[in-house]
Amino acid sequence: MRRFLSTALVLGLGLLVISCGGEQRAWDTDIEQSTFTEIEQGLPEARLALVDLGESLEKMPRREKDAAIEQYTQTRDFVEILSLYYMPILNARAHISRAYREIQYGMYAEASTDIRKAIDNINKASLKSTESTKAGFEVVKKGLTDVSGISDASADASMVRLSNAAKQLNTLIEKIRPVIVMTEEGEMLIDGQL
């Protein structure tokens, strides 16, 4: 009787463990298109429209011109911040998220590609940033470059590193209030204000 109960208990626990695992869902590439490239592709047209608007403002009567130039400057700065700061870091975050899921599915080569794309986007945001803002991006980049040689043995550690990099990037997104600063040479840079 004792042997029968032990066998039944082991079989019952085995069936419980198997049934809790559930089915693994297939990777759906259509759902995983999580970047903002469509929006990013429209930004050059918005910039051109702003250049045209700026030229039109010069022809306005003086009393209307000052208020219009102020609104124009705010809109131009918003487009620059969107283009140079938010789009690259939101795309980086999307690639980090995708790489995390790819590691879960054992898609290590794809995850490595997405990590490189995330680093490229962070580099893109860094190009037009002040030194203090670049420092925040460097911390995130360091976390991403630490994820290398992904394998079954390192998958969990890689996911932890990706999670930490995503948290650091989220901090940049949530806490920094980017503003445009002009250099002496007339170049627009993003300065992240905490």
Question: pLDDT grade, residue 113 (50/70/90)?
Answer: very high
Phi, psi angle pair for 123, to nearest 5°: -60, -40
125-183 pLDDT, tens digit per residue, is 899 888 888 888 888 898 898 887 788 888 888 888 888 888 888 888 887 788 888 88
Phi, psi angle pair for 171, to nearest 5°: -60, -45
Quote the CA–CA distance of 21 and 18 in Å, as a whole number: 6
Find how far residue 1's CA is from the centre of its chain.
61
Quote the CA–CA distance of 3 and 123 in Å, as a whole number: 65
Quote the CA–CA distance of 76 and 13 in Å, as a whole number: 64
pTM listed for this prediction: 0.73
25-75 pLDDT, tens digit per residue, is 565 555 555 667 667 777 777 778 778 777 877 788 877 777 788 888 888
Quote the CA–CA distance of 72 and 56 in Å, as a whole number: 11
End-to-end CA distance of the chain: 70
Write out the E strands in 23-182: 177-182
Mean local confidence (pLDDT), 74-82 = 86
* Predicted local distance difference test score (pLDDT) of residue 69: 82
Quote the CA–CA distance of 53 and 59 in Å, as a whole number: 10
Mean local confidence (pLDDT), 118-124 = 94
In the predicted structure, residue 17 carries a pLDDT above the cut 90? no
